[in-house]
Amino acid sequence: MSAPLRDRTAPTEHPVLDVLDVLAGRWSPRAFDKESTIDEATLAAVLEAARWSPSAGNTQPWRFVVARRGTALHAQIVEALTGLNQTWAPAAGVLIVALAEEHDADGNPLRFAQYDLGQAVAHLSVQAHSEGLVVHQMGGIVREALSALPGVEARFVPLTVIALGQLGDAASLPDKLREREVAPRVRRPLAETVVAAA
Amino acid sequence: MSAPLRDRTAPTEHPVLDVLDVLAGRWSPRAFDKESTIDEATLAAVLEAARWSPSAGNTQPWRFVVARRGTALHAQIVEALTGLNQTWAPAAGVLIVALAEEHDADGNPLRFAQYDLGQAVAHLSVQAHSEGLVVHQMGGIVREALSALPGVEARFVPLTVIALGQLGDAASLPDKLREREVAPRVRRPLAETVVAAA
């Protein structure tokens, strides 16, 4: 490229110039407000954003289990979280299990399922942030437990659980997580991510 | 959920109410303008958007090869495309190879690499669309050929090639692709994507 790519190595919470606010301001907090709920129209819009994500051959290899706080399904999802996730995620107004459709109904492999699921969740996250909500994705899950949830066919593989809700007070977190909550966001310099350019 | 999720089964090019314009209006055209170029600041912003994407444990398991039209690298990437992709993708001002870091430098597997790469590319696409550019991701690639490009270590697996540029005239496309270009965007109803809800 004709000029070096910009490198921001000391980001703050809103680190990025010249990028959409909804992308620059997005982050993954753990402090969720344990009282507030998400209205139906907002939740539908968040899922609708995922729906219109692109995918290989328009295969749309994503499925979701959606559970509001206070339901048995929400509690079942919490049970399937590992480690410290169980300390904070129960406060999230909605938990969503993100499932990759690794094989279609005829048994054919969908090799972009994980990649496309990631895209759909990104669209969901961007919409959620624009609605004033926050999102934290968790990979620390017991897949077998989530595979046993209603509606989850064997060809739908649980990859993450998405906590969705209103931002809460960091003081509600265990010490170790509270430190992480307020730490600056950091990323590798772009010059190391672009491995070749012309 | 308390009310049925909305279902839009007859979308137009801009099908989605109540969702951010940058998500609702995003699509994946094949007609790229073969003359226009992308200025350096815009290209940097598009990559910067990917940079700030979330990832499992902040591993950032994505890398990119970035090539402007007219360079040998761009031509090499075109050579690694399959089928009809070679008829339209050469017009894209920039081609980006999206690489999943499937193992870290110590050889440990990064099992969310494909999912996280998909998220980073989604962020890139949203930023590009907001800049007035268009993006079309291609899974039809010869991985071995792309793995041989400069900077691509064995642990970086090529998953897609991203065409990035200005929208061109659909008349430039072969008949078969021109029909697809103007067809309405369609998606599965949300009620089939949410396999369980409470």
Q: What is the pLDDT of residues B62-81, one digit of tens each?
A: 999 999 999 999 999 999 99
Give the CA angle between residues B183, B139, A5 to the nearest 5°.
Answer: 105
Give the mean pLDDT of B122-151.
97
Q: What percent of chain B has pLDDT over 70?
A: 91
In what helix (H) or strand (E) does residue A21 lie, and over which residues does it extend?
helix A21-24
Give the mean pLDDT of B119-127.
98
Q: Is the pLDDT of residue A6 over 60?
A: no
**Which tens digits make up the pLDDT trace of B31-61?**
999 999 999 999 999 999 999 999 999 999 9
Can you give the pLDDT at residue B92? 98
* Distance separating alpha carbons of residues A37 and B23, to the nearest angstrom: 24
Q: What percent of chain B has pLDDT over 90?
A: 83
Q: Which residues pair with B98 in a beta bridge?
A: B64, B160
Q: How far is CA A163 from the centre of its chain?
A: 7
Q: Kindly provide the ipTM of the predicted complex, given to two decimals.
A: 0.93
- Tokens, residue A142: 């017991």
What's the pTM value of the predicted model, to 2 decimals? 0.93
Can you give the pLDDT at residue B162? 98
Main-chain phi, psi angles of A182, to 5 degrees: -100, 0
Closest Cβ–Cβ partner in A56, A185, A194 for B139: A56
* Distance separating alpha carbons of residues B125 and B26, to the nearest angstrom: 8
Tell me the nearest-neighbour CA distance from A118 into chain B, angstroms: 4
Q: What is the mean pLDDT of chain B?
A: 91
Closest Cβ–Cβ partner in B23, B118, B121 for A127: B23
The residue to which tokens 């919470």 are assigned: A13
Give the mean pLDDT of B167-178.
93
Which residues in chain B touch residue A78, judged by CB atoms under 8 angstroms apart? none
Which residue from B minimizes the CA distance to A16? B48
Which residues in chain A touch residue B127, judged by CB atoms under 8 angstroms apart? 19-20, 23
Contact A60, A116 (CB under 8 A): yes
Main-chain phi, psi angles of A196, to 5 degrees: -155, 145
Can you give the pLDDT at residue A16? 61
Which residues in chain A touch residue B94, judged by CB atoms under 8 angstroms apart? none
